[in-house]
Structure 1
Amino acid sequence: MGGALAFAGAALVPEIDAAAPFYGIPGSQLCDVTTIKIPVQCHFAEKDDTKGFASPDEWKPLKPKLEASLKKLEFYSYDAPHAFTNKVSPNYKKECHELAFKRMFEFFQKNLA
């Protein structure tokens, strides 16, 4: 699921045990991401131009808010555009995809074991 939906699920669904949002932030009318109580690993793109949703203008101010409120947070950014893990996207970046997925799998193994 997309990053905004992963964040929303982490904030609103108590049955979720860990979340790894990829390039997307929900609007404040949907949820307050600073209330999340589960481990979160974020993945964002340095060259994301989706204004109002996942650009560095949105995620860079979000990072310190999450660092101050979440007990278990990992936050990564990649030298790539939006949708860099989507193999059929012109924005696909193999190196970034592989690193992000390696981190994500390790995160879930550690937090869902």
Structure 2
Amino acid sequence: MKKLLLAITLFAVTGSLHAQTASCCHSDAITEFAGLANSGSFVMQHANPLPYTYAGAEGQTVTFPATDGKEASGFLFKAKSPSNLYLFVYQEWWGLNDYIKKESEKLYNDLGGKVNVLALDMYDGKTATESGEAAKIMQATPRARLQAIMEGALKHVGPAAKIATLGWCFGGGLSLQSGLINGRQNVGDVMYYGMPEKDVEKLKTLHAPVLGFFANKDKGINPQVVAEFKKNMAAAGKSLTVYTYDADHGFANPSNPIYDSNATREAYAHAIAFLKKQFGVK
């Protein structure tokens, strides 16, 4: 019960993100997530991750100023040759853990080392290994801080950078919000079962197509939510490609017991093809 109560408040609104620049995490999306956290069946889809230690040697921790005046950080896989192409990777609610570093390295390698892959640390160094702990960290992370990190990352890579985004669950929603923040520098956004933006007026400001992967068995971001997203993107006149799988929420997370290797393999192939096309790399 304690874990459920923590999860119920996971996505409660703790502060407005409306600032002088484009704001993220629209209140409708946060409210929807808060409602999902009231569902025990949805919470149960977030099993504690299996142990894993990242052993790669390519990536390195980098720091940069966030727009709130504080320092932010991420884990960077630097392109083999100087490049203004960047992929921002957004973590699940566990934080920037070793699984995210592993997935970021895979993306980097499968993009031929031609794209800088930056996994952003949205929890400022904190990670969780069990659901109650993850809920506490999420509760303690102000929504304004999330936006400041995304804005800081945009400034860090510079005005010449072409940026795509990718994230899972919590990070899937942030991937779309980051695309909105990145403005004309945005070249594409990949969402794995993340909460869509519901404000059509905000969606009209997108400058690139969106690729979404969703699960038919998802207890929260269900087919009805996906259908609404399609309708809103069409109303906004924006490009959205959706693939759905007969799987559960979190199906692409190898640390989750409900991991679906077939769905993950197919979705990942679509994601890499999409990113290569948007970045213009082979």
TM-score category (smaller protein): 0.7 to 0.9
Confirm whether residue 11 of structure 1 aligns to residue 180 of structure 2. Answer: yes
1:60 equivalent to 2:230? Answer: no
2:213 corresponds to: 43
Q: Which of 94, 103, 106 is residue 261 of structure 2 equivalent to?
A: 94
- Measured against aligned partners, the alpha-carbon deviations of 1:4-25 in whole angstroms (never above 9, x if no partner) come to 0011111222233211011011
Evaluate the alpha carbon distance shift between residue 67 and residue 28 of structure 1 in structure 2; reply closer, same or farther with a 3 A threshold. Answer: closer
3-state SS in 2 of match to 1:3: helix
Q: Output the amino acid matched with 1:100.
A: A
**Partners in 2 of 1:41 and 1:12 — Cα distance?**
17
Offset from partner CA, 1:31-75 (integer Å, 9 cap, x none)? 93343221211111111013xxx2223222111221343443211
**2:190 alignment partner AA:** A
Which contiguous aligned blocks of 4+ residues in structure 1 show a shift greater than 6 angstroms? Answer: none
Q: Which structure shows the bigger proportion of residues in strand conformation?
A: 2
The equivalent residue for 1:76 is: 243
Per the normalisation by structure 2, the TM-score is 0.36
CA shift at 1:96, angstroms? 0.2
Does the CA contact (< 8 Å) of 1:36 and 1:70 recur in 2?
A: no
Q: Which has the higher contact order (CA 8 A, sep 6+)?
A: 1
Report the CA distance between 1:95 and its aligned residue.
0.4
Q: Which has the larger radius of gyration?
A: 2
Contact in 2 for aligned 1:84/1:92 (Cα 8 Å): yes
Task: Report the AA paired with residue 175 of structure 2.
Answer: A
What secondary structure sits across from 2:180 in the alignment?
Answer: helix
Give the conservation status (yes or no) of the 8 Å contact 2:198–2:232: no
Structure 1 unaligned regions, length at least 5: none
Would the aligned equivalents of 2:190 and 2:271 in 1 still touch at CA under 8 Å? yes
Higher mean C-alpha deviation, range 70-79 or range 102-111: 70-79
Residue-pair matches, total: 109
Q: 1:98 to 1:70 in 2, by over 3 A?
A: farther
Residue 256 of structure 2: SS of its match in structure 1?
Answer: coil
User: C-alpha root-mean-square deviation of aligned residues, in Å?
Assistant: 2.1
Say whether the 8 Å CA contact 1:5–1:26 is kept in structure 2: no
Unaligned 5+ residue runs, structure 2? 1-89, 91-170
Q: Distance in 1 between matches of 2:198 and 2:227?
A: 16
Q: For residue 81 of structure 1, what is the amino acid of its counterpart?
A: D
Q: Is the 8 A contact 1:34 1:65 kept in 2?
A: no
CA deviation digits over 1:89-108, x for unaligned, max 9? 02210000000000000001
- Contact kept, 8 Å, 1:8 with 1:33, in 2: the verdict is no
**TM-score, scaled relative to structure 1:** 0.83
In the alignment, the residues of structure 2 paired with residue 60 and residue 28 of structure 1 have an alpha-carbon distance, to the nearest angstrom, of 12
